[in-house]
A and B are shown apart, each in its own frame.
Chain A
């Protein structure tokens, strides 16, 4: 193809090849290139070969923006409040597995620092015309998601929503909290504190809100309502460490801590190591490091990877036309390790 070679010599590097460049180099009309691109009828095999060979040679890529103008972008957006939380890593592994070998690309938008609201990041994804969104930040209002779902399919991950407009995937936080609390109560603990984030509110459908509510219910049912201690902390191991240390050093007579997630539980373990105070600690999620023998964290396992995979399946069903909302709950399992022991007898 001497035409292509001649053209290559005058091709300006640093500029994306356009459809016109391909047409000129292949010596065919722009309409013919377009037909090949659209996989339309009436294109001869030799024409198809000629055009695709030229596209490869010029590294021509139909622009995503141009494709977006016509419909799909084959992009799935994931909004994540805290990339450092290894439970979300598990979820992303499921997402990536579900899309491996497909044309779909995953893009992740981290929520803005500070606000943790996540709405801006979700809107940024929608602006980039993703074909579907998995929203993970627990504090985005369901009204905002309802509105977004009128344009782009949404799956809310981790919160127990009942929207008619979008789907949701969550763990059974009532059952999970009961498993953790029953385990500690069976070990003879009565002074059990709950370590949770500042923003956890009992009246919401967020995972942490439900865990807090069920903690209180379990204590009350065990006749321990007067022993209820809720320790509040910011996100992160260091903050959780100092919240538990402050409680220990302030003389709060606790023997066990049920933490709202593993990151907080690992901070609580640090507090026990640094103060020498024996406390039984239970986490939630079962992040990969929880099973490390150095930590041996007893925790409530959530099937993060399966949940991520299911979130993608739900988006794909939406893209294929499903309009009715689906809300699925996954069952957790207690993993007992070395961080919990019988309550001291005195």
Chain B
């Protein structure tokens, strides 16, 4: 049974590694670890049903092991960005401020025709209408239009021009996203100053976003939810 336990863990990690190498586009709606669990559980459950010679413990132990490991890892991932990045990858910004990042496109092994197809699926015919396009960890493409290409209702409401609708995630659940912060042209000292001006520390913040214009939105943690 120790053998079964070790084999379960090895195959689980191997499948996660394989899925990570296959890239985001293979994943679909689920996170990589969820997809791996789904694949493994169905096979594990069927084996002892089909073969009476295999004790039911050979299915129960791996299934409980996988579920427990998945729960422990998911919890751990909410606390560690590094682990989350290692197991699930990170979002890839394919279009930034209307400019296509060809290197990133190559890195995620997505052809321009595939990107155009994904945009068309979101009713966007012209790539120049896009302000930001982000390939998420689960393989979905998030698209943000240029402000002047937003639906008419926005224009009718008097919104003009150059301000992007995209909000950069600066702090999530008390954790500072240093990479994003730097990409917006700021550093941690600037962030500390901004928070101090509001009498806050990063630990007090559940969500902090910033638009290209510099407009900041802060959502505080509920009481008793310190990171």
A, B in one complex: no
Name A's B-contacting residues (CB within 8 A): none
